[in-house]
Structure formats: C-alpha cells, structure tokens
Amino acid sequence: MDAKSIGVYDSGVGGLTVVKAIMSAAPGWPIVYCADTARVPYGEKPREHIIRFAREIISFLAAQGAAVVACACNTSSALALPVVGAEYGFPVVGMIEPGARAAVRATRNGRIGVIATTNTARSRAYAAAIGRIDPLVQVFEQACPLLVPMIEQGEVSGGYVREVLSGYLAPLVRAGVDTVVYGCTHYPYLEDEVRAVVGPHVSLVDPAVSVAATVRAALDCCTGRAGVRSRTEAVSYRFFTSGDPEEFRRIARVLLGWELEAVDHVTFSAPRPCWGVQKGDKWDAAYDTRE
C-alpha cells in the first residue's frame, strides 16, 4: 500500500492531544489513530506486554498505509520503542526525546519535574534524555498511577482530582522545580487543575507540540514532500479502538469537544482491562496480572 497517512497510537484518549498538534503542524495529511482502550492503562503493565502491544499496533498502522507513526504514549515510548522502533521501514517517533528537548528549553533554574505513569517514571527515560541534552539539569520524576484511569472516565476536575494531584505534585513543588513535563499524553486534560496546584510561575510542558514538529520533519524526509499537502486533496481522519467505539466517541466529545463521525473497532491479542475502579468517591487502579 502507498504510504499516505500519519499513524498515531496510544493506550486510550490521551494521544488525541498529539493528534490535535499534528493537525496543526502537518495540515492536509490524513491521520489514522488507534486507541488501545481495551488494555488501558499501560502504566502498570509488564514491559514484555508493552512491547507486544507496540508491535501489534504499529504493524496495524503500517497496514493502513502509515508513512510515519507517532507513538503518543510515554510508557510505550520509554519501554517499547528502544526495542521495536528500528524494526520498521518508516520513522517511529516517540514522546521522550521531543519532550526532553522542550523541557530543557523551558527551564530557568535547571530543576525539572516529570509527572508520569509508574512504568515511565520507573524507567527514568526522561532523566536520561534530559541528561544527554544538559547534564547539569536536575530531574525529579513522580509516578501518578491514579490519573489515567480517572481521565479515561472523563474525570478531569473537581475536589478529588485536585486532592490526588496535590499529593503527586507536592514533592516536585518542595524540590523547587520551575518546569513540569507532562510525561503522559493524558495529562494535558488536567491543565487547569495542575496550574492551580503549582501556581503561575511554573512552566507546564506538553511534549505534543515538539512531537508534532518531529513528525512533520520525518514526513518531509521520508516522503520527499513538504509536510503540508495540497488543500484541494481530500483529508481523512480515521479512528480505531480496541475497546468500545461509542465510549471512545463519548470521551472524545467530553475531553476535546470533538464529534467523531465514526470510530471502528479493531481486535488485537486477548485484552486484559486495567481500568480505574471507583470505590465510593475514590479511585483505585485495577490490574489483571494473568498471562
């Protein structure tokens, strides 16, 4: 198949923030988005599972004609792309390096905080990437396992969200960071609540903008054409999910105000859901560890 589209994937709706940035950076390019919502979130799953998921989804996007794939998932970028990124005959762009570059540009005091899933924080991928750019910068990474399940249910504001964020962000505030990186593509949906906790003088870095610029540069290189296609060409945006298409449409409408005309279902290997389970007015991450 002639490679004519940009492939984007994430464990759920978080990657739509990257899709939005790519639409601005490479207008006119068709986009195929795959949300692995049947297996969301990735943040607590074993590394070998994340690698398998990445291979399945990137191969699917390749079959859809992707010229470039953006891995709009920090966990997959940190754990899977170092293994599988070079297995394909087209660029696979991750979140970590572009996000690290943006963070180093933003910091003024050389103290950067990263909020991320457990797997991303444990990998220290951001600390390593930032250290390669500027070894003098100090990086403080904070795992936030409850956030993705809440966001996937459309919970992005309110007293409990603020309470959870305050607990996660407190160590970064005490460390004196002047920059906080969203180390998960879901977290920009919490922008107002994060800002309320950290105050007006801390820079909030969403790697999506830098990822979109990297995708456009990759398109220019690998297709031999400019990142902007003719506006006379029909543009298509296709959305796939391994979970419930109607639920995905609902959450996209709640979080971004997007009315998606159609979302198609795609089946990968046996899904093992890892949803947030509401207990009273609290949330708890539920993860099935069975093979």
Q: Are 119 and 287 in contact (CB under 8 A)?
A: no
Exactly one of 34, 144, 184, 274 is catalytic; which is it?
184
| 222 has catalytic annotation | no
The torsion region of residue 232 among left (phi > 0), alpha (psi -120 to 50) and beta comes to alpha
Three-state DSSP state, 278 = strand
Exactly one of 73, 144, 221, 274 is catalytic; which is it?
73
> Which residue from 278, 216, 273, 287 is spatially nearest to 11, judged by alpha carbons?
273
| 144 has catalytic annotation | no
Non-local CB neighbours of 191 within 8 Å, separated by 6+ positions: 204
> Which residue from 67, 31, 32, 73 is spatially nearest to 54, judged by alpha carbons?
73
Q: Are 235 and 226 in contact (CB under 8 A)?
A: no
Residue that is written with structure tokens 């989804």 in the block = 57
Determine the Cα angle at 80 with ends 44 and 68, to 5°: 125
Three-state DSSP state, 220 = helix
Tell me which H or E stretch contains 239: strand 237-241
The catalytic residues are 73, 184
